[in-house]
Chains A and B, each alone.
Chain A
Amino acid sequence: MGSRFNPYDNNGGTCVAIAGVDYCVVAADMRMSTGYNILTRNYSKICQLAEKSILASSGFQADVKALQKNLSARHLIYQHQHNKQMSCPAMAQLLSNTLYYKRFFPYYAFNVLGGLDSEGKGCVFTYDAVGSYERVGYSAQGTGSSLIIPVLDNQLKSPSPLLLPAKDAVTPLSEGEAIDLVKDVFASATERDIYTGDQLEVVVMNASGIRREYVSLRKD
């Protein structure tokens, strides 16, 4: 009786990104859920789109996968045409345009794009489902975002992103301190958010390249 096909599902999860002076940390949990069930404890929400751009997306993972594939293909075309990789701000604009393209049947994806800008400084861009975006010093998206953001506001010692004019909100924390903070906030979010947990994937990008770390989280 009157239940139309619902094209969307929320697979839960949380994504965080923090921009530092010369690094960027992008982290996401690895739990994929549907309803009150867990589909897998080992699903990566993080995708490296270009040399200096990493996308983390929570929401409906089928849409996320399609979005990632779309952007990767567009990046390949860009490389053929321009003989170089896309910069992170360029990728940010491309993501925004791609999302808005489906304004009337959106990608159910809550994105956080992290990377290094052309000066080597960390940059983080945060999005809504239809492409509205902003460069910020740090961001969280997903089911645990409301638990995480206030802690980052308090602990990152960045100028408040809510101030106007928008100040360059890169955190003065060191890379190690930022990573420790990320692990802590995810541990906290895991406590109260049922959709966040199992494992944490942390990707760190700096001048020397990219490295990946996995941290165990509560599995309940």
Chain B
Amino acid sequence: MFRNQYDTDVTTWSPAGRLFQVEYAMEAVKQGSAAVGLRSKTHVVLATVNKAASDLSSHQRKIFKIDDHVGVAIAGLTADGRVLSRYLRNECINHSFVYESPLPVGRLVVRLADKAQVCTQRSWKRPYGVGLLVAGLDEQGAHLYYNCPSGNYFEYQAFAIGSRSQAAKTFLERRFDKLDDYSAEQLVKDALFAIKETLQGEKLTASICTVAILGVGDAFRVIPESAVQQLVDALDDAQPRADEPDDEPDDALPAEQPEEDRPPHPDEAAAPAPMDI
């Protein structure tokens, strides 16, 4: 994506009918460290890679409990993610207060999407620079949604966002049609494997990732680090899966990119920009 004369304002269209500022916001999501989500009929698992800004600092929190039946994982500007999480929590609390029942996740994501859309149509605002994987329950069962800075949202069986997410997506594409019948444990294992894919050779330990699970009758909770480490160890001991992970260089091959060429991003090896983790 190159600079051009139509990208200063979010309220300026390009001749090709694009809003560059919105697309730049989506870039911020792609630069953030990875987050994956998978769901079965009854459970949803979220997992994130937590990068610390330096060895001295703590890891960024990228998974937030919104309510007993909803949780989110974010990628991109984590500050924006925090603020949106507060909004989501508020919406859930207000709904529970009035209706004495949990806000169905499908309605929650619409409100979030509408909130994001507003920022794409006001000259004095900027789009939120964060993508959210929203895991939640409604009367039908478990759902996973992806909310975009553009104001779009989609429901997914499994999805991955953030840097090197293409590797995880490729892995998930091979098994998404079986996920519906997975048990909770299998979902967690696959989520960890997907996260491992995004690390591309770097060692997966419980200290650099966070895993959370929620399901029908199972309130949202972050799995404790010790339990995650056990699962990670089990993953390492297990036989490599029959389907091999691809070694395609992500972000250089733009499957989701529009017509323009993109220069390969220097983010893989370099430190993350100050705002984005």
Contacts and interface: CB of A to CB of B under 8 A. Distances in A.
Contacts of A69: 97
B97 A80 contact: no
A68 to B, nearest CB: 11
Contacts of B65: 80
Interface string B72-104: 000000000000001001100100110000000
A73 B89 contact: no
Interface string A52-81: 000000000000000001000100110010
A77 B97 contact: no
B238 to A, nearest CB: 34
B82 to A, nearest CB: 11
Interface string B123-154: 00000000000000000000000000000000
B50 to A, nearest CB: 17
Contacts, number: 12
B178 to A, nearest CB: 35
Interface residues of B, number: 7
A94 to B, nearest CB: 15
A77 B65 CA distance: 12
A166 B93 CA distance: 39
B60 to A, nearest CB: 15
B88 to A, nearest CB: 10
Contacts of A80: 65, 86, 89
Nearest to B66: A80
Contacts of B97: 69, 73
A67 to B, nearest CB: 12
Contacts of A77: 89-90, 93
B27 to A, nearest CB: 30
Nearest to A77: B93
Nearest to A81: B86
A55 B96 CA distance: 20
A109 B96 CA distance: 23
Nearest to A72: B97
B20 to A, nearest CB: 35
Nearest to A83: B65
A69 B94 CA distance: 11
Nearest to A80: B89
Nearest to B94: A73
Nearest to B65: A80
Nearest to B100: A69
Contacts of A73: 93, 96-97
B69 to A, nearest CB: 13
Interface of A: 69, 73, 76-77, 80
Closest 6 CB pairs of A and B: A73-B93, A73-B97, A80-B89, A76-B93, A69-B97, A77-B93
12 contacts: A69-B97, A73-B93, A73-B96, A73-B97, A76-B89, A76-B93, A77-B89, A77-B90, A77-B93, A80-B65, A80-B86, A80-B89
